[in-house]
Amino acid sequence: MRRDKAAVKRFFLRVLRSNPVPRKIVTDQLRSYPAAKADIPELAHVKHVFVKAAARVNNRAENSHQPTRRRERQMCGFRNARRTQAFLSCFGPIRQHFALPRHQMSAACHRAVLKERLVTWHDWTVTGAVEKGI
């Protein structure tokens, strides 16, 4: 995809056809954006804000949405990929017992279901420890 002045100008005009004039435009530091903005009279008084354009700036946001990466980050102790995978393969099924669809239930229902699951987990682990003689 080209991001030269002509392409940016076409983009701005297409957006302005279906949307009102914005109060602010946020772009990276490519020079074709201000050049194209200067050619369009409707955008003459619109504030132009530049965001930092550098390598790996977006990595933290992108990785935070991946379940495995999220669990690794919460544990914050793994240096070895093999140990991480060994832990996650054991921890995954246990976590599924407590991972509730929180967005689909009320707070009271969430507390009740979580309390029930914690009691089940406590009974299961204590019973298992007693049977093993721990």
Q: Looking at the structure, tell me whether residues 59 and 49 fall in a common domain.
A: no
Provide the 3-class DSSP secondary structure of residue 46.
coil
Taking the whole predicted model, whether its pTM rises above 0.75 is answered as no
Q: Looking at the structure, tell me whether residues 49 and 10 fall in a common domain.
A: yes
The contacts of residue 129 (CB under 8 Å, 6+ apart) are: none
Q: Looking at the structure, tell me whether residues 32 and 15 fall in a common domain.
A: yes
Q: Flag whether pLDDT at 1 surpasses 60.
A: no
Q: If you average pLDDT over residues 84-110, what whole number do you get?
A: 84
Q: Looking at the structure, tell me whether residues 71 and 109 fall in a common domain.
A: no
Q: How many domains does the chain have?
A: 3
Q: Looking at the structure, tell me whether residues 11 and 42 fall in a common domain.
A: yes
Q: Looking at the structure, tell me whether residues 13 and 41 fall in a common domain.
A: yes
Q: Looking at the structure, tell me whether residues 15 and 27 fall in a common domain.
A: yes
Residue in the structure block whose two tokens are 């080209």: 2
Q: If you average pLDDT over residues 23-51, what whole number do you get?
A: 90
Range of the domain at 90: 55-96
Q: Flag whether pLDDT at 80 surpasses 70.
A: yes
The last residue of a domain, from among 20, 35, 53:
53
Residue in the structure block whose two tokens are 């029930």: 116
Measure the CA angle with vertex 121, ends 90 and 127; round to 5°: 100
Q: Looking at the structure, tell me whether residues 46 and 67 fall in a common domain.
A: no
Q: What pLDDT is stored for residue 133 in this prediction?
A: 67
Q: Looking at the structure, tell me whether residues 122 and 134 fall in a common domain.
A: yes
Q: Looking at the structure, tell me whether residues 115 and 127 fall in a common domain.
A: yes
